[in-house]
């Protein structure tokens, strides 16, 4: 969450920053009023508590001295105790409302984030494709590459959307044979390329509400998550969720930073607002595999950590021979917790569109405040860590773009060479003989 002390200290700056994200000044004024009321009630309750403590001391002293006024003092103490309990309840009630309001406030956008309202205002930074030439704005694709991945998958027997529907409903894909192995190989490729610098984690696929709150996925995005209400759990939408909470409530030594982690998990998203929109094939699915890169770091390390994750994601895309573009997300399109996000989108020639496959985000201390993850400096003081994360990569859309991009004139798929070690040296996917 945002720094409440900063809001008190620099209300106009905070309101101006959040206005770039569409948050009204009136909303922040309400929070400031709640904060003032909460602090007033807190002071009142603490004052009464101090009086009760002093009266209790005096009652004990009076009774030891067999003072006739002991009963009157005790009665006064009970009266003040009742008032203190009422004041504490009022303080807690206002504090709860204040926290609920703060949990809905997004992060302040970084000054470097472009101005804008939505995805249409994102800024394209650069493009990359195999054999790119100066002055050529886009690569040429042959007709055999302009076939949708769901048709390719059916033709080669490597993607069975109908079976997925039969088993779990719409938007749950089923990969078969070489298609399943291709998906697995993509994960192996990524994890192996990161393992020298990032500790591999295999977290649970489910998380407590507190864990989901730490990243900012709750309460705002509850409708897009799968809830297991009987057990008080949520299916994770990304490995970012458990990785962010691995050190929840801890104070880390600065010498340990940055702490770099990576994980491949299944990711679950209800996509509640996406019914009927871009839902064919693998364009938008409820379950997909993704490798996440994550770092806890000091403020001074965060920019380099962000750049490293972005470079790794781009390196994977280049090794797979996929056309992509880098977008700098505008303030109005940033995720709730992000201060700065760079998106990577691959071009999928068979469906003729750009597909987001990675968001690399710097959250500053927004998530760390929610998760209460701090570090101890060399001077002995404590401060909240910064968190950085990004996908390297999300595989469903990569799979789609890859089979379309590398489809050959005879209908086979020529696999990128980097996948050969994970595919049993298989370099081509062809239709099974009937």
Right CATH for 4-103 from 1.10.10.10, 3.10.580.10, 1.10.287.40, 2.102.10.10: 1.10.287.40
Q: Domain extents for the chain?
A: 4-103, 119-429
More confident residue, 399 or 433: 399
Is pLDDT at 285 greater than 70 in this prediction? yes
pLDDT value, residue 28: 97
Is pLDDT at 14 greater than 80 in this prediction? yes
Residues in the chain: 434
Distances (CA, A) of 153 to 122, 252, 282, 402, 420: 32, 48, 11, 12, 20
pLDDT tens digits, residue range 141-193? 999 999 999 999 999 999 999 999 999 999 999 999 999 999 999 999 999 99
Region 122-132: mean pLDDT is 95
Which residues touch 80 (CB under 8 Å, ≥6 apart)? 48, 51, 52, 55
| Lowest mean per-residue pLDDT among 289-298, 308-317, 324-333, 424-433 | 424-433
Is pLDDT at 57 greater than 90 in this prediction? no
pLDDT interval class at 432 (50, 70, 90): confident
pLDDT value, residue 61: 84
Q: How many CA atoms lie within 13 A of 165 on its CB side?
A: 8
Is pLDDT at 96 greater than 80 in this prediction? yes
| 119-429 topology per CATH | BirA Bifunctional Protein; domain 2 (3.30.930)
More confident residue, 301 or 431: 301
Distances (CA, A) of 411 to 120, 140, 342, 417, 425: 35, 18, 35, 18, 20
How far apart are alpha carbons 215 and 267 in whole angstroms?
15
Which residues touch 73 (CB under 8 Å, ≥6 apart)? 55, 58, 59, 62
pLDDT value, residue 60: 83
Is pLDDT at 434 greater than 60 in this prediction? no
Is pLDDT at 229 greater than 70 in this prediction? yes
In the chain, % helix, strand, coil (3-state, to 5) comes to 45, 20, 35
Which residues touch 29 (CB under 8 Å, ≥6 apart)? none
Burial class (CB in 10 A: 0-12, 13-18, 19+), 68: exposed
pLDDT tens digits, residue range 244-280? 999 999 999 999 999 999 999 999 999 765 555 678 9
pLDDT value, residue 136: 85
How far apart are alpha carbons 149 and 401 in whole angstroms?
8
SS3 69: coil
SS3 427: coil
pLDDT interval class at 8 (50, 70, 90): very high
Q: Which residues are catalytic?
A: 269, 284, 356, 359, 397
């Amino acid at each position: 969450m945002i720094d409440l002390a900063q809001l008190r200290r620099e209300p106009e700056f905070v309101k101006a920053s959040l206005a770039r994200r569409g948050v009204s000044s009136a909303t922040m004024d309400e929070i400031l009023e709640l904060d003032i009321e909460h602090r007033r009630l807190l002071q009142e309750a603490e004052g009464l508590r101090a009086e009760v403590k002093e009266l209790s001391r005096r009652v004990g002293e009076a009774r030891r001295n067999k003072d006739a006024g002991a009963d009157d003092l005790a009665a006064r103490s009970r009266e003040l105790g009742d008032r203190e309990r009422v004041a504490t309840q009022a303080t807690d009630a206002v504090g709860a409302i204040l926290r609920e309001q703060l949990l809905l406030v997004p992060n302040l956008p970084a000054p470097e984030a472009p101005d804008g309202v939505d995805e249409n205002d994102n800024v394209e930074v650069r493009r990359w494709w195999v054999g790119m030439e100066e002055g050529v704005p886009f690569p040429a694709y042959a007709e055999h590459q302009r076939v949708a991945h769901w048709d390719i998958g059916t033709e080669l027997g490597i993607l069975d959307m109908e079976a997925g529907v039969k088993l779990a409903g719409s938007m749950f894909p089923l990969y078969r044979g070489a298609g399943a192995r291709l998906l697995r190989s993509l994960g192996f490729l990524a994890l192996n390329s990161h393992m020298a610098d990032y500790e591999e984690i295999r977290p649970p696929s489910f998380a407590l509400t507190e864990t989901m709150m730490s990243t900012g996925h709750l309460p705002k995005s509850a409708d897009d998550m799968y809830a297991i209400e009987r057990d008080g759990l949520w299916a994770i939408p990304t490995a970012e969720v458990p990785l962010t909470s691995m050190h929840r409530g801890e104070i880390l030594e600065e010498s340990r930073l940055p702490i770099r982690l990576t994980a491949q998990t299944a990711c679950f998203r209800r996509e509640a607002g996406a019914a009927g929109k871009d839902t064919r094939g693998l364009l938008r699915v409820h379950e997909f595999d993704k490798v996440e890169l994550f770092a806890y770091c000091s403020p001074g390390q965060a920019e380099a950590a962000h750049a490293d994750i972005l470079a790794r994601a781009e390196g994977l895309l280049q090794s797979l021979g996929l056309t992509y573009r880098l977008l700098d997300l505008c303030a109005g399109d940033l995720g709730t917790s992000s201060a700065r996000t760079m998106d990577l989108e691959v071009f999928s020639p068979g469906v003729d569109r750009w597909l987001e496959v990675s968001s690399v985000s710097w959250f500053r201390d927004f998530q760390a405040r929610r998760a209460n993850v701090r570090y101890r400096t060399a001077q002995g003081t404590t401060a909240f860590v910064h968190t950085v994360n990004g996908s390297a990569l999300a595989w469903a859309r990569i799979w789609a773009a890859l089979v379309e991009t590398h489809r050959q004139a005879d209908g086979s798929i020529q696999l990128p060479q980097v996948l050969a070690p994970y595919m049993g040296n298989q370099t081509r996917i062809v239709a099974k003989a009937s």
